[in-house]
Structure 1
Amino acid sequence: MSIKHTAAIACVLASSLAWAGPEDTIKAAVEATLGGGAKVEGVSKTPYLGLYEVRVGGEIIYTDEKANYLLLGEILDAKTRQNITQARQAQLSAINFAELPLELAIKQVRGNGKRVIATFEDPNCGYCKKLAKELQSLNDVTVYTFLTPVLGPDSQKKSEAIWCSLDRQKAWTDWMTANVAPAAQQASCDLSGLQKSAALGEKYRVRGTPTIFLSNGERIPGYVPVAQLDKRMSAVK
């Protein structure tokens, strides 16, 4: 390579570094600090304390403009007492409900079914069973449940049995509310839908079951009492 070409490349690199914003610098610095192949998904300036929001693995951390310090924790508004970090996390973890492949879900309708939620559940999840029992008393709701066997081989086995049942909705309800194992199953069963359902949980970073999504895409990570869920559903416009 000629000296002229080398000089040209050096100029291009210098120009790139000169025009690199603090977001690019922070991204590189945080990834280097965290190590282990950590990938920063986004960096944005916040309107408080001169901090930058850094999104890594679906979580939020904060840093200064030069990434000299990392802040792990939540920021509260002293006047309103609003948990700013929590509100931002809820915004980032929301999904586009309309994009859910509802044909992969077990559908349950109660009353007029006007209110809609989606749940990601494991058949061996104790809190999922508690939720399933309480949902029996919830009126005017349609529940789409995506089988998400994340608790081990037996969860996969039970999910397959429910998926291959002649009546999935009944098999799911009987197992989750009364511990009655699925009996009659289809002679031949295509498990590709179940595999897609499990992959969907990975896509939406479902890290625990149950995970509930309201019709506006808001995520509720974990079990909530049905009375609280009822209020949150009713508040959705």
Structure 2
Amino acid sequence: MSHTSAQSHGLRYSITMPGNSKLQAALLLVTVLAAMHSASFAAQEEKLKQILQEKIPELKIEGVRESPIIGLYEVVANSRVFYSDQMGRHVIIGNIINATTQQNLTENRFNEINRIAISDLPFQHAIKIKNGNGKRIIATFFDPNCSFCKKMSPELDKVPNATIYIFLQATLSPDSVAKSEMILCSDNPPLAWKQWVQRGKIAARRTPCQSAVIQELISLGKKLNIKGTPTTFLPSGERVEGFISGKDLTTRIDQM
């Protein structure tokens, strides 16, 4: 008979295996200790979550887990990522970069938790632009008064074989709503949008327009945690915040 035991957190485990089973006993011991280790960290993570929630009640803390840096914990709150020490005494807002691969681990994690099912978006309320066969589906959120949105709009024409859905997010200034209504209610919304980008003019709409659609799009932006424009979603549902060129956008899609 082979016999082994382990003691952790005040509990003693005894494992007796028949015959010549030392390897099996060792493997079982490793499994038991790993489970106990995992349970210990889970308890620490839940404790830290409670501490931070009490200290920062305005945040909706969705999860806490170990970060790649020993002693530092990743905190997801309001769909954002920041870091905290074990006791919640200090928080760090910033990016963790893998020095070997140069990967931005914080950005990767943000994209992971904010990924969406792009097919679930209300395309009927979007401005549709098709390039080539249109097989790449891209959704982007623009405000008519956003200078970077106007700069990025022509870049979308450079993405080959793509269908681009532009959702107007009228949040930057009071007249963003009026401009969005005039564009969406025009006889040709894609043309109206391009004229606005190129000339800064929008033809007066011929028929009354329901502002309910604009408010619905604003609510959609809040639901998707869109903090600013432009915000773009790739075919995979991955989010890209801020201006991105057509070339870089194509590269990101092709790397999926």
TM-score bucket (shorter structure): 0.7 to 0.9
Matched residue of 1:25: which SS? helix
The one-letter code of the counterpart of 1:151 is: L
Aligned equivalents of 2:246 and 2:102: distance in 1? Answer: 26
The equivalent of 1:181 in structure 2 is 202
The equivalent of 1:204 in structure 2 is 224
The alignment yields a C-alpha RMSD, in angstroms, of: 2.0
The equivalent of 1:135 in structure 2 is 156
Contact preservation (8 Å) 2:157, 2:246: no
Superposition deviation, residue 211 in structure 1: 0.7
Choose which of 180, 186, 193 in structure 2 pairs with 1:165. Answer: 186
Give the TM-score normalised by the residue count of structure 1: 0.82
> Is 1:117 paired with 2:138?
yes
- Range moving further from structure 2, 153-162 or 163-172: 163-172
- Range moving further from structure 2, 79-88 or 106-115: 79-88
The one-letter code of the counterpart of 1:233 is: I
Contact preservation (8 Å) 2:158, 2:247: no
Deviations 1:98-150 (A, max 9, x none): 22111121111121111110010001111111111232343321110111011
The one-letter code of the counterpart of 2:129 is: Q
* Unpaired runs of at least 5, structure 2: 1-41
- Range moving further from structure 2, 105-114 or 25-34: 25-34
The equivalent of 1:29 in structure 2 is 51
Greater C-alpha radius of gyration? 2
Contact preservation (8 Å) 1:133, 1:177: no
The one-letter code of the counterpart of 1:70 is: V
Give the TM-score normalised by the residue count of structure 2: 0.77
Aligned equivalents of 1:118 and 1:66: distance in 2? Answer: 40
Aligned equivalents of 1:60 and 1:158: distance in 2? Answer: 34
Contact preservation (8 Å) 2:152, 2:245: yes
**Structure 1 runs of 4+ off > 3 angstroms?**
none
Superposition deviation, residue 21 in structure 1: 2.3
Structure 1 vs Structure 2: percent identity of aligned residues?
Answer: 38
* Unpaired runs of at least 5, structure 1: 1-19
Choose which of 100, 110, 113 in structure 2 pairs with 1:92. Answer: 113
The equivalent of 2:174 in structure 1 is 153
